Structure 1
Amino acid sequence: MNSRLLLVLAGLLGAAGVAAAAAASHVPGGAMLASGAELLLVHAAALLGLAALAERRRERGRLVLVLIGIVMAIGAGLFAGDMAARVFHGQGLFPYAAPTGGSSLIGAWIVLALASAVGSIRAE
C-alpha cells in the first residue's frame, strides 16, 4: 500500500474539517458540528504524520501505518459525519455511527501504540 493514500485522506479530512468549522458558526447546533470539525482536523494532521513515517519504512511497517491511517480516516468520517447529519438532518447516519467511528479511532491509536512498542513500525 502506498502512503500517498494517507495524504489524499488527510486532505479530504482537512477540507471537511475546515468546512464543518465554518458551517458551525452559521447553524443552530453548531457546537456539535464544531466538535466534529475539531476531530477531523486533528486526525488530518495525524494522517500527515503517519504518511511521513510510512515513507521511511519498509514494506511491512508501511502497510501497518497505512492500515492504521485508513481506519482513522473511516472512524473520523463516521464520527464527524454522524454529527453533521444530526445537525443538518435531525438524525444520525445510522444507529451507532458515532460510537463506531469513535471506537475505530481509539482502536487505531491503540494499534499504533502496540505496533510501536513491539517494533512492527520501528525506525529502519
Structure 2
Amino acid sequence: MLDRLFVVLGALFGLAGVAAAAAAAHVTGEGNLGTAANFLLFHAPVLIAATAVMGQGLVRRGIARLAIMLIALGAILFCGDLALRALAHAPLFPMAAPTGGVVLMAGWLLLAVAALVPAGRSAG
C-alpha cells in the first residue's frame, strides 16, 4: 500500500508541477523554449517509469495506459506549441498549449487514480 501512495504522490506532484510551470510561463511571458525543454526532460522519465510501474502491477493497467497516453499527448501539444512560438513565431494551433497543459494534468490525475484502483488481473 505504501508503494501505491508513492505513485499517487508522484502523480500529484506532477500535476502540481505542470500547473505551476504553466502559471510561471504566463507570469513572465518569456522562456517558451526553455519551458518546453524542461517539460520534455521531466516527462520523458515519467513515461518510462509509469510503464515500468504498470508492468510491476502496482497500478491498474488499463487506467495507467490511458494516463501514459494522455501525458504523452499533452506534452506533445504543450511543448510543440511553445517550441513553434519560440522558433517560428507561430502557434501549433489556437489554444494548443493550454489544451496540452490540461491534457497533461488529466494524465497525471489519472495516473494517481490508476494507483488507487486495485490492480486486479486485467490483460493487456
What letter matches 2:43 in structure 1? H
Q: Are 2:75 and 1:76 equivalent residues in the alignment?
A: yes
Kept in 1: contact 2:60–2:117 (CA 8 A): no
Count of aligned pairs between the two proteins? 92
Cα distance, 1:88–1:73 mapped onto 2, change above 3 Å: same
Q: Alignment partner of 2:93: what SS?
A: coil
Q: Are 2:68 and 1:64 equivalent residues in the alignment?
A: no
What residue in structure 2 maps to residue 17 of structure 1? none
Kept in 2: contact 1:76–1:105 (CA 8 A): yes
Moved over 3 A (4+): none
Aligned-pair CA distance for 1:52: 0.7
What letter matches 2:53 in structure 1? L
Task: Give distance in 2, aligned partners of 1:68 and 1:32.
Answer: 25
Point out which structure has higher relative CO (alpha carbons under 8 A, 6+ apart): 2
Query: Percent same amino acid among aligned pairs?
Result: 38
Kept in 1: contact 2:60–2:118 (CA 8 A): no
Alignment root-mean-square deviation, CA: 2.3
Cα distance, 1:81–1:89 mapped onto 2, change above 3 Å: same
Task: Give distance in 1, aligned partners of 2:117 and 2:48.
Answer: 23
Kept in 2: contact 1:61–1:120 (CA 8 A): yes
Task: Give distance in 2, aligned partners of 1:80 and 1:101.
Answer: 8
Task: Give distance in 1, aligned partners of 2:74 and 2:113.
Answer: 19
Task: Give distance in 1, aligned partners of 2:30 and 2:95.
Answer: 21
Task: Give distance in 2, aligned partners of 1:110 and 1:82.
Answer: 22
Kept in 1: contact 2:69–2:107 (CA 8 A): no
Q: TM-score, normalised on structure 2?
A: 0.66
Q: Alignment partner of 2:57: what SS?
A: coil
1:1-124 matches, cutoff 5 A: 31-57=31-57, 61-120=60-119
Q: TM-score, normalised on structure 1?
A: 0.66
Unmatched 5+ stretches in structure 2: 1-28
